[in-house]
Amino acid sequence: MNFLANPLLASTSSSDTLASMMDPFGFGRAAMNYWRDSVERNILYWDVMRERGNQYLAHMEQTKPNVLGFETEVLMDGRTLPNPTNYELLRVLPPSNVQVDPQKRPFVVVDPRAGHGPGIGGFKPDSELGVALKAGHPCYFIGFLPFPEPGQTVEDVVEAEVAFLRHVIELHPETTEKPMVVGNCQAGWQIMMAAALEPDVFGPILIAGAPLSYWAGEHGKAPMRYTGGMTGGSWITALTSDIGNGLFDGAWLVQNFERLNPANTYWKKQYHLYANVDTETKRYLEFERWWGGHVVLGGDEIQYIVDNLFVGNRLSTAQLVTRDGRRIDLRNVRSPVVVFCSRGDDITPPPQALGWIRDLYEGEEDIIANEQTIIYCLHDTTGHLGIFVSGSVSRKEHSEFTANMDYIDVMPPGLYETTISHASERTDAELIERDYLLEFTPRNFAELDQDVMHKPEDDRRFATVARISEINLGLYRLYLQPWLQAVMTPEAARWIRRMHPIRLGYKLLSDRNPLTVPLPVMAEYVRRHRQPVEQDNMFKALESMASDQIVASLDAWRDLRDSSTERMFMDIYGQPLLQAAVGLYGDAHVHRRRPGAEPEHRRFIEHRQNELRHKIAQGGPHEAVMRSVIYVLGGAPATDERNFKRLRASRAELEPSTSLSEFKRLVREQFFILKLDREQALASLPTLLKGQSNERIDGYITHLEHVFAASGELSEHAAERFEQVKALFDKARPKAVSAPAAKASGEAENASVESAKTKEVAPANAAPDTASDTAAKKPSRRAPNQRKGTQRKQ
């Protein structure tokens, strides 16, 4: 190249050559590039902080702030109810590219009111609401306003949610299926309280990251459960409410969450934005709009929550009683309950999400006796917020729960764990319609205890905390509360809320601070002339290493703090003298006997068993088919959603007029009959099929084969059970008759069929003719020679 012909290239080449001579290893150029990049990133970072402050102020000035990503309309305002609350029912309007089927089950999401504002359940397109909308469900959202109504209580909120659900049911008279309700975190236990009081308004319930058993936890983890003991009980909650003139600032709850992970709060989250400021700004601001949207709770509300749930642990042991005398017993919940939790959740770890099952029941047999279906799903990595947001790590769980709620709604009572596998990882992928397969495995309490890790000695420690909390709260109310309430004014309380460190962090870095005036101008200039440093820059690598060291140091400090706190808690509240001083030493039932052990409950179970014994031989072909399905599949270690597709077809083919609630009753009743007396239940199958023709019986067997084929080949044990069922069905076949008699019988049967078609009414103990016609056209794929041989013999 002729450098003389191009002076610019010649100058550039000369400068590069000179730079290479003066800086042969490139350290100086790498340092200059990194210095420029770091200055630019600093300017952009602080400008994002300014935008965050402006966003916070604009959000808090709204009358009804929320972070929902969907358009909504208000259907009911809780402030108009007999006991006013700050909650409201919203209808979620689907996006233009989404079609909603009003015939489908309504889907209701209830967001937590634990310091933050509403909307996290519909925060993103792939959130809980987004998943349900894509599946075509009519969706509703129960949110709340920033300030409570005067005198509002937790019971008022529960009653408001029940009223909202009744209104949703009224809006969908064309469907008999009750709404599916999702309760996130704090809303989870609130929804369970409502379902225990009014079980008739609930369909399947999904509680995500909801702590129902606050005393449960694994040693070395779940540090939040020690907070009540280390502060001397709930008197500190009453003090905070009195400082707020009867209102509790949710920013204090948010601060507790942030202290759990100081590395993330004080460094990692902010450094991630600084290091990726060119791409992370939008995501960061979206999340901060919710995280910084602090709300206020009523003093009576938070005191009830801390006394009865956090410290008292009374919900999971049926000790809560409403003001009108109703006991809140979670055994009254009649809907299937799906518990979604994660081992990566440090706010609601699995023991606190699942411990209520062990607190309430003596074993899996007790769950079955109460006709309850409890399903739990354990994620390995997702954090607390990831459970609600339905992000990339937990999207498939929410999608599968939503898609299979009809299956879950008719599952037999018991305790199950669900797992989700990718279709491509299975050998029977051609039988799976979607990308994932939901499978259910029956569990016992020994397996549940591997996740709950219950320790009776810890119960006595936490019961000691509860007693000391009552003592300290009484002393505070006697000596300090009257003085504090006398001097605190509403204006002073507002000033204290404004001066909270978390709130100030947002306000000081906004346009209201004159020092931020140059930031937008500087940031705009940087964006126009941005020169990001290469990722292989040695100084950028050193920066990343330094960040990792800071995170490791903060994590080490957190671990030391948490382990020291746990050790102090165990030593203090494990002292026999302290336990004896509050009347708990040597008490074998420190917080109450399990409700399942009560005599009245045992009498109820005995009465229910006697009723079922009388029904063993009652019914017809549909009872026989359903009993056979449950018997064969009950012998398998697990079942999955594909069986439900055939069960749903069973309902459509054999009993098209049967409602879902009646179908569910049939499934559960046959399950209990098999559980009560399996030998007698099987021996009664020929009785249930008495009077059926060979063609009908062949049709029932073919139908059973289709049900079992939906999930692939049967296991050896299940196949043996199926052969046993077919032999029992063969016993019900009519005896051989002469040709004229057979002809007359056939003409009579045809006449009765025509009569039934004319009246459009099927006999109560026989399947509709559409089932037999369908079955006759579908030859059996299992043991055809056996049936033909039987017919030839006849």
In this prediction, residue 775 carries a pLDDT of 36
Sequence-ordered list of residues with C-beta below 8 angstroms from that of 636, at least 6 positions apart, any chain: 714, 715, 717, 718
Q: How confident is the model at residue 615 (pLDDT cuts 50, 70, 90)?
A: confident
Question: Could you report the per-residue pLDDT of 269-292, keeping only the tens digit for each?
Answer: 999 999 999 999 999 998 898 888
| HEC assignment per residue over 310-336 | HHCCCCCCCCCECCCCCECCHHHCCCC
Helix (H, G, I), strand (E, B) or coil at 88: strand
In the predicted model, is pLDDT for residue 588 greater than 60? Answer: no
**Cβ distance 676 to 612 under 8 Å?**
yes
pLDDT digits (tens, 9 = 90+) for 674-686: 888 888 989 999 9
- Is residue 718 pLDDT above 90, yes or no? no
Residues 76-98 have a mean pLDDT of 93
CB of 416 within 8 A of CB of 441? yes
| Calpha distance 168→574 (Å, rounded) | 49
Instruction: Give the pLDDT confidence of 650-668 residue by residue, as tens digits.
Output: 555 656 666 666 777 787 7
pLDDT at residue 93, rounded to an integer:
92
Angstrom distance (rounded) from CA 112 to CA 305: 13
Is 512 exposed, middle or buried, given 0-12, 13-18 or 19+ CB atoms closer than 10 A? exposed
For position 639, what pLDDT does the model report? 65
Q: Tell me the longest C-alpha to C-alpha distance in the chain.
A: 118
Distance in angstroms (rounded) separating the CA atoms of residues 698 and 776: 7
Q: Given this model, what pLDDT does residue 18 score?
A: 53
Burial of 781 (0-12, 13-18, 19+ CB in 10 A): exposed
483, pLDDT greater than 70: yes
Answer yes or no: is pLDDT of 447 > 50: yes
CB atoms within 10 A of CB 54: 17
Band (790; pLDDT cuts 50, 70, 90): very low
* Segment among 30-44, 249-263, 586-600, 687-701 with least mean pLDDT: 586-600
**The two structure tokens encoding residue 273:** 């934005």
Among candidate residues 719, 737, 688, 690, the one with its CA nearest the CA of residue 783: 719
How many Å apart are CA 525 and CA 39, to the nearest integer? Answer: 12
Nearest to 696 by CA among 741, 654, 744: 654
User: Which amino acid is present at 703?
Assistant: H
Is 500 exposed, middle or buried (CB count within 10 Å of its CB: 0-12, 13-18, 19+)? Answer: middle
**Token digits for 691?**
């009077």
Give the per-residue SS3 of 689-721: CCCCCHHHHHHHHHHHHHHHHCCCCCCHHHHHH
Tell me which residue of 340, 347, 403 sits closest to 376, measured CA to CA: 340
Amino acid identity, position 33? N
pLDDT in tens, 544-587: 999 999 999 999 999 999 999 999 999 999 999 999 999 887 76
Q: What is the pLDDT of residues 187-246, one digit of tens each?
A: 999 999 999 999 999 999 999 889 999 999 889 888 889 999 999 999 999 999 999 999
How buried is residue 716: exposed, middle or buried, by Cβ count under 10 Å (0-12/13-18/19+)? exposed
Instruction: Look up residue 678 and give its two tokens.
Output: 């399996």
Across 699-703, average pLDDT: 86
Alpha carbon distances (Å) from 402 to 98, 103, 127, 142, 475: 16, 15, 12, 18, 49
Q: What is the DSSP string of 341-359?
A: EETT-SSS-HHHHHHHHHH
Rounded-to-integer distance, Cα 623 and Cα 620, Å: 6
Distance CA(10)–CA(3), nearest Å, equals: 5
% of the chain beyond a pLDDT of 90 = 44
pLDDT given for residue 708 in this prediction: 78
Cα-to-chain-centroid distance, residue 147? 26
For residue 90, CA distances in Å to 84, 106, 383, 544, 717 come to: 17, 13, 27, 45, 50
Dist. CA 54–CA 510, nearest whole Å: 5
**363, 445 Cβ separation under 8 angstroms:** yes
Distance CA 204, CA 403 (A): 12
Cα gap 510→499, rounded to integer Å: 15
Identify residue 633 by its one-letter amino acid code: L
Say which CATH superfamily domain 84-138+153-213+313-453 falls into: Alpha/Beta hydrolase fold, catalytic domain (3.40.50.1820)
Query: How confident is the model at residue 383, as a pLDDT?
Result: 78
pLDDT of residue 587: 64
Helix, coil or strand: residue 19: helix
Query: In whole angstroms, what is the distance from residue 194 CA to residue 321 CA?
Result: 13
Lowest mean pLDDT among 323-337, 521-535, 722-736: 722-736
Q: Is the dihedral of CA 90, 92, 93, 95 positive or negative?
A: positive
Question: Measuring CA to CA, how many Å separate 259 from each of 78, 118, 186?
Answer: 34, 22, 19
Model pLDDT for residues 391-402, shown as the tens digit of each residue: 554 555 666 677
C-alpha 53/C-alpha 506 separation (Å) is: 5
CA 316 to CA 561: how far, in whole Å?
A: 29
Q: Kindly report the length of the chain.
A: 794
The yes-or-no verdict on residue 776 having pLDDT over 80 is no
Ranges for all domains in the chain classified under CATH 3.40.50.1820: 84-138+153-213+313-453
Count H helices and E strands in the chain, helices first: 36, 13
CA separation for the pair 718, 633 (Å, rounded): 7
Please say whether the beta carbons of 762 and 616 come within 8 A: no
Average pLDDT, rounded, for the chain: 82
Burial of residue 575, with CB atoms counted within 10 A of its CB: 0-12 exposed, 13-18 middle, 19 or more buried? middle
* Mean pLDDT in residue range 99-121: 88
Q: What is the pLDDT of residue 123?
A: 74
Give 123-178 pLDDT, tens digit per residue.
Answer: 776 777 888 888 889 999 999 999 999 999 999 999 999 999 999 999 998 887 89
Q: How many CB atoms lie within 10 A of CB 438?
A: 25
For residue 34, pLDDT beyond 70 = yes
Which one is predicted more confidently, 185 or 159?
Answer: 159
Average pLDDT, integer, range 687-704: 88
> What is the tens place of the pLDDT at every residue in 345-397?
888 899 999 999 988 888 888 888 888 899 998 888 777 777 766 555 455 56
Taking only the tens place, the pLDDT of each residue in 626-647 is: 888 888 877 555 566 666 666 6
- Is 455 within 8 Å of 216 (Cβ atoms)? no
Residue 768 pLDDT: 36
CA 306, 343, 377, 92 dihedral sign is: positive
